[in-house]
Amino acid sequence: MLEVEQKVIDELRQGEAYEGIQGEGLHAEKRFYIESYGCQMNFSDSEIIASILQTSGFGSTRNVDQADLILLNTCSIREKAEQTIRKRLTEFKKIKKQNPGLLIGILGCMAERLKSKLLEEEKLVDIVVGPDAYRTLPGLIEEAETGTKAVNVLLSREETYADISPVRINSNGINAFVSIMRGCNNMCAFCVVPFTRGRERSRDNISIINECKDLFQRGFKEVTLLGQNVDSYYWVDPITNHAVDFAMLLEQVALISPNMRVRFSTSHPKDITEKVLQTMKSYHNICKYIHLPVQSGSTRILQLMNRTYTREWYLAKVKRIKEIMPDCAISSDIIAGFCTEDDQDHLDTLDVMRISMYEYSYMFAYSERPGTLAAKRYKDDVPEEVKKKRLEEIVSLQNKLSFESNLKDIGKKVEVLIEGDSKKSNLQWMGRNSQYKVVVFDKSDSSLQPGDYAWVEVTDCTQGTLLGKLVS
C-alpha cells in the first residue's frame, strides 16, 4: 500500500490545486480545478488526468470560483478519508448555486468503491469516474453537460496510461513520480485497494524509461517509481517475449544518468528480492531507502491480515537489507488495533519497530472498510480507546526511533539534492539525502541552485530534520 496522509513529518498538503494550462479546441474557454487526496499514486493519476483534459482542450485554474469543472481525486483507505470528501463537497454548494453550469466530478478510489451510489448520496455530483476510466473523462463531461449524470467505474486488466505523458502538477521541477504498474493482486484483509484499483498490471519498460529520460532532459533530478507493490513488477515484451522484472527495470532507469536519483515505493516484504537489493547496492544513484510496510509485528495478526509472511520472515528481510546496505533507511506502515489484537500482539509490534529501527512510519488505527476480507470475516472488536492508546504508543516509539536515527548522523557528511528553500527560512536550503531524510543548511554558496547536489556536514538534528553546514 502506498504511503497515505499523516506521516511523522507532515508531507502532503491535502487538496493541492493546479494552474497553468491554457486550453484550445472543443472546451477552449472551459477550465478545470482538481484536488488530489491520499497516496502518491493518486497524485500521479491527477497528472495523467490533467494531460487528458489538456488534450481535449481544457484550461485549468487554481481558483475554484473560476472553474467550470471541479474534480476531486479521492482516497478510500480509511473512513476518515471519505468523510473529508463529503465535507469538501458541502463547501461547493454555494459555488454551484452561483454557477449552475458548473460540473462536479468524483474520481479515484472512493468513486470506484461507491460507484453510482455516490450520485444518490451526493446530489451535487455530476460525474463519477474510477481509476481505470480516465480516458473516457472528456466524453463523460460532454454527457454531463447535457444534464445527465455520467458514470464509468469499469476496472481494466490492461490500462496503464503508458502513452499519456503526465502534466506535472505543483512540481518543484526536481522530483517526479513515475507510475510503473497499477492495481494489486494481494488481498490484505484490511485493504480496499484490490477492489478500487483492480488486478495488477505492469507498464512496458520502454515507456517508463522514456518518461524518465524526458524528465531528466527537462532538469528533473529524481524519479520515484510508483506501484502498490513494485517488487511484483513484471513486463513481457509481446514481440520479443523478453521479460523485465523489477530489478532489471531499476537498473535500466539508474543507467539513464548517474546524476538522476532513483527511488521506488511501495515494496512488499514477501516479494522484495536479493536481486533488487544487490542492484540497489551497485548504483550510487539508487537511493538507499526502502518503504517496507509491516502492518503488525505479531505473526498471529499477520495471518489474519493475510499478509502472507511471518514476523520472523519480515525481520530476516530487514536483517538482509542491513547486511547488504548498512546505511539503508527503512520506513513502514503500521496498523494499531486490528481485529482480535491483544496486548501481546501490540507488544510484538513495538518490538519489531525497535529491532527494525525504522527511520519513520505511517501509523494508523484500524478502520474497517466495507467489502474487505476483514469486514466480511472478523468483528472490529478492539475498542476505539484501546486503538487510540496503542496508536499513541506506536507514534511515540517511532518519534524516539526517528530522533535516535538522526542523532547517529551528527558528524557525518551527507550528499543532499537541493529541492528549494527551507520551510522556516529562505536563507536556508532544504533537500534530502539518499536515505530520504530532510536536510536543512545555510545558503553560504550562492552558486548553488535547486537541483544541485551538495555535501553537507550534519551538525545537529531534530526528530524530523538534519541540520548542517555546507562542506562542498
Residues that bind ligand SF4 (CB under 6 A): 1, 184, 186, 188, 191, 193-194, 228-229, 268
Chain centroid to Cα 148, Å, comes to 33
Minimum distance, C-beta of residue 310 to ligand SF4, in the bound complex (Å): 16
Minimum distance, C-beta of residue 192 to ligand SF4, in the bound complex (Å): 8
Minimum distance, C-beta of residue 73 to ligand SF4, in the bound complex (Å): 17
- For 45, other C-beta atoms within 10 Å of its C-beta total 26
Which CB sits closer to ligand SF4, 53 or 191? 191
The answer to whether the peptide bond before residue 266 is cis (omega within 30 degrees of 0) is yes
Which CB sits closer to ligand SF4, 1 or 106? 1
Which CB sits closer to ligand SF4, 166 or 194? 194
Minimum distance, C-beta of residue 282 to ligand SF4, in the bound complex (Å): 27
Cα–Cα distance, 244 to 235 (Å, whole number): 5
Which CB sits closer to ligand SF4, 160 or 229? 229
Which CB sits closer to ligand SF4, 80 or 423? 80
Which CB sits closer to ligand SF4, 27 or 268? 268
* Cα Rg, the chain, nearest whole Å: 22
Minimum distance, C-beta of residue 103 to ligand SF4, in the bound complex (Å): 31
Query: Cell 472551459 appears where?
Result: 30
What is the number of alpha carbons within 13 Å of residue 426 lying toward its C-beta? 0
Which CB sits closer to ligand SF4, 229 or 349? 229
Minimum distance, C-beta of residue 197 to ligand SF4, in the bound complex (Å): 8
Which CB sits closer to ligand SF4, 265 or 435? 265
Minimum distance, C-beta of residue 311 to ligand SF4, in the bound complex (Å): 17
Minimum distance, C-beta of residue 34 to ligand SF4, in the bound complex (Å): 23
Cα–Cα distance, 287 to 221 (Å, whole number): 12
